[in-house]
């Protein structure tokens, strides 16, 4: 007979929880858009298999497949709201049968879904919705209620209140935090742990949000604030959207290695969320087996259309002409979160004086809210005379909006665009927002190419044609190199005229990619990202899709102390820049956290002044 859950927690022994349910069901062929909670009734064997796989991997705490099994969410799927009690009871039964030796936690997700629906239940109705689901889970025999992926602290407290009223089992509350370390409603980790613990939560923690590193940072701010047990269930890393599917980094060993830091911060329950699999949990269990917890210290569905695409029209832009004459340096700018552009214009001016030829302006990268790149691009081009590459994503606009905005930016004189699919909303400030994705980046290239031909996407004639220089992104270090080359080839066939890569840390690897992709005379801007710390290097390598940093570079960053790390990273970037200047058309320098002075230092150290740069 297994030890009482609370006694186990008090013993200081760590409890390994399971990983993602949705990821596992999606991998098993559960249809996208189907109510996964309903599978407890229609396909219990699939749910049981997922639970059993996690238990076999070493999970001791299994969460029920009931994250969205509340009446409000279920009612959006025809008559499923009437089956709320039944679905939750079935969820507990399946978990018990699949994992008789494990603790079972009743998963309860948020009722509110910001930007997912305009319908908002009243406070009284929300309380009833939570009470109904929690009562069903408790009646089914869970060992623990887990309120998870909560973004609104007030709603989390409301759910906690109902769980305490139902009684009989302890309650864990896990909040979801953004990259900035706050929930999307602005709540800090320290505020969350204090208020939830004071209300009576036995366990407080974080789940979903981002990968292990971000979760460690959140837990560090929770640790020692109250006498409460801590839990952590991070995502595998940052999601990417490729080939019509969402995917996460496959990093079990790295994921498990970060658990040691969580234990040192006092985390008692460790598991995984989106993107984690039984392999992550097996590695986690193996890594922390028998260890004790340290007492905390203060401190789209792609729209496929058969459209004929002829040879890309011949276009000419100032930037294209520059690239044909000499090695070109662009620096990526991220627009501000507000409306004041003074600092950004000043930064662009300083970069121009330092030797930058152009700026490449991102569009809400990682789905974080920022000003559209259009305003900043227009001001830089008109006031500073610098050429601009505008990022365009398919995430936020349908086909109509994409074409309307493309025509607008062309009318404003911005003629260089980089076509991107866009990071999914689930990784950003508004995880419940719905991405559009009517086309992917290949489709966007096709749209811009047809505008260059004087017609819209459906072939309707325009009053005048555009003359965009269209760029496509590529990831030379993608483990699926053949797939990456195939996708890039499709974008080039659709009309892409230049290529911008993810950050390059291996020049020989880039050259091999360029050769195998048969890019010929196509201009290539190699991404260049100066590193500023060992922590950043490890994060990029292990958690960000499409970026691979050689061990030798990561070791150099580890060997540098905190004061020298920045200069070490700049030296490495300058060396890579010098090597790239001999083999590609240009670079796009991407700096962390808008630290544009780093780009200027890299250019200076590489000695690539305007007077000495020559064509390649």
Handedness of CA 379, 380, 383, 387 (dihedral sign): negative
From residue 517, alpha-carbon distances to 242, 483, 491, 499, 577 in Å are: 18, 11, 12, 11, 22
Distance of CA 580 to the CA centre of its chain: 29
- Rounded to whole angstroms, how far apart are CA atoms 429 and 369? 7
Cα–Cα distances in Å, from 96 out to 31, 58, 135, 136? 25, 16, 17, 15
Asked if the domains at 21-220 and 318-530+574-606 fall in one CATH topology, the answer is yes
Phi and psi for 521 in degrees, rounded to 5? -95, 5
- Residues 6 or more apart whose Cβ sits within 8 Å of residue 170: 5, 6, 144, 145, 202, 203
Say what the pLDDT of residue 29 is. Answer: 86
Query: Using alpha carbons only, what angle is made at residue 395 by residues 370 and 413, rounded to the nearest 5 degrees?
Result: 65
- Specify the DSSP class assigned to residue 116: T
The answer to whether residues 361 and 500 touch, using CB atoms and an 8 Å cutoff, is: no
* DSSP state string for 261-302: HHHHTTEEEE---TT--HHHHHHHHHHHTT-BPPPP------
List the end-to-end C-alpha distance of the chain, in Å, as a whole number: 72
Given phi > 0 = left and psi -120 to 50 = alpha, else beta, which region is 607?
A: left
581: CB partners within 8 A, 6+ apart: 327, 587, 606, 608, 613, 616
Cα 528 from chain centroid (whole Å): 20
Please tell me the pTM assigned to this model. Answer: 0.74
Q: What does 303-338 look like in DSSP terms, one character per residue?
A: --------SPPP---HHHHHHHHS-EEEEEE---SS
What span, in angstroms and rounded, lies between the C-alpha atoms of 471 and 476? 16
Are 417 and 389 in contact by the 8 Å Cβ rule? The answer is yes
pLDDT recorded at residue 296: 57
Q: Which residues pair with 15 in a beta bridge?
A: 269
| Encoded tokens for 519 | 């890019």
| Cβ-contact 368, 179 below 8 angstroms | yes
CATH of domain 21-220: 3.20.20.330
d(CA 33, CA 333): 36
Q: What angle do CA 594, 242, 64 make, to 5 degrees?
A: 95
Give the other-Cβ count within 10 Å of 584's Cβ.
23
Give CA–CA dist 87/66, Å, rounded.
8
| Every domain of the chain and the residues it spans | 21-220, 318-530+574-606
Q: Which residues of the chain have pLDDT under 70?
A: 1, 113-119, 243-244, 295-313, 608-616
CA 158 from centre of chain: 29
Residue 113 is predicted with a pLDDT of 64
Given this model, what pLDDT does residue 183 score?
Answer: 86
Q: Does domain 318-530+574-606 have CATH number 3.20.20.220?
A: yes
Nearest residue to 299 via CA among 222, 187, 198: 222
CA distance 514 to 519: 6
Reference 419, options 386, 447, 400; nearest CA is 447
- Cα-Cα-Cα-Cα torsion 313, 318, 321, 323, nearest 10 degrees, comes to -110
Residue 616 contacts residue 550 (beta carbons within 8 Å):
no
HEC string of 419-464 equals EECCCCHHHCCCCCCCCCCCCCHHHHHHHHHHHHCCECCCCCECCC
pLDDT score for 78: 75
* pLDDT in the model for residue 320: 94
Pair of tokens at residue 269: 């329950």
């Amino acid at each position: 007979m297994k030890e009482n859950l609370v006694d186990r927690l008090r013993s200081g022994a760590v409890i390994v929880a399971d990983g993602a349910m949705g990821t596992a069901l999606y991998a098993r062929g559960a249809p996208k858009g189907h109510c996964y909670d309903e599978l407890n009734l229609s396909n219990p064997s699939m749910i049981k298999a997922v639970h059993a796989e996690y238990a076999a991997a070493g999970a001791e705490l299994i969460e029920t497949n009931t994250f969205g099994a509340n009446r409000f969410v279920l009612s959006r799927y025809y008559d499923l709201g009437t089956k709320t009690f039944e679905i939750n009871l079935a969820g507990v039964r399946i978990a018990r049968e699949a994992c008789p030796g494990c603790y079972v936690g009743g998963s309860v997700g948020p009722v509110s879904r910001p930007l997912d629906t305009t319908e908002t239940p009243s406070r009284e109705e929300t309380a009833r919705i939570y009470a109904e689901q929690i009562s069903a889970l408790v009646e089914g025999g869970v060992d623990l209620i887990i309120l998870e992926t909560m973004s609104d602290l007030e709603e989390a407290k409301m759910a906690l209140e109902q769980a305490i009223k139902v009684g009989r089992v302890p309650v864990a509350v896990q909040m979801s935090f953004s990259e900035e370390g706050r929930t999307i409603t602005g709540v800090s980790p320290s505020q969350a742990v204090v208020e939830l613990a004071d209300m009576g939560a036995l366990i407080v923690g974080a789940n979903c949000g981002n990968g292990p590193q971000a979760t460690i940072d959140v837990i560090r701010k929770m640790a020692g604030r109250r006498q409460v047990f801590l839990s952590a269930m991070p995502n595998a890393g940052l999601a990417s959207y490729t080939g019509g599917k969402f995917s996460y980094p496959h990093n079990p060993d790295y994921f498990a290695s970060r658990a040691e830091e969580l234990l040192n911060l006092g985390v008692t329950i460790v598991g995984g969320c989106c993107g984690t699999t039984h392999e992550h949990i097996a590695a986690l269990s193996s890594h922390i087996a028998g260890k004790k917890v340290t007492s905390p210290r203060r401190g789209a569905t792609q729209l496929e259309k058969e459209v004929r695409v002829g040879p890309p029209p011949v276009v000419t832009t100032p930037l294209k002409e520059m690239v044909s004459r000499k090695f070109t340096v662009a620096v990526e700018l991220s627009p501000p979160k507000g409306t004041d552009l003074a600092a950004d214009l000043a930064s662009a001016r300083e970069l121009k004086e330092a030797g930058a030829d152009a700026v490449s302006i991102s569009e809400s990268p990682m789905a974080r809210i920022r000003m559209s790149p259009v305003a900043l691009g227009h001001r830089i081009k008109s006031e500073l005379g610098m050429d601009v590459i505008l990022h365009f994503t398919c995430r936020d606009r349908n086909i109509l909006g994409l074409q309307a905005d493309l025509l607008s930016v062309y009318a404003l004189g911005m003629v260089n665009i980089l076509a991107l699919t866009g990071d999914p909303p689930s990784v950003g400030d508004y995880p419940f927002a719905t991405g559009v994705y009517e086309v992917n980046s290949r489709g966007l290239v096709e749209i811009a190419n047809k505008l260059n031909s004087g017609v819209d996407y459906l072939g309707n004639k325009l009053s005048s044609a555009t003359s965009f220089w269209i760029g496509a992104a590529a990831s030379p270090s993608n483990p699926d190199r053949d797939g990456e080359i195939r996708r890039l080839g499709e974008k080039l066939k659709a009309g892409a005229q230049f290529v911008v890569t993810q950050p390059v840390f291996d020049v020989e690897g880039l050259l091999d990619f360029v050769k195998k992709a048969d890019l010929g005379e196509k201009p290539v801007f190699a991404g260049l990202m100066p590193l500023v710390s060992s922590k950043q290097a490890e994060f990029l390598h292990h958690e960000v899709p499409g970026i691979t940093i050689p061990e030798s570079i990561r070791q150099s960053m580890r060997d540098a102390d905190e004061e020298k790390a920045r200069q070490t990273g700049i030296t490495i970037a300058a060396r890579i820049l010098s090597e790239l200047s001999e083999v590609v058309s240009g670079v796009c320098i991407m700096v962390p956290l808008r630290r544009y002075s780093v780009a200027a230092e890299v250019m200076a150290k590489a000695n690539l002044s305007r007077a000495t740069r020559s064509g390649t």
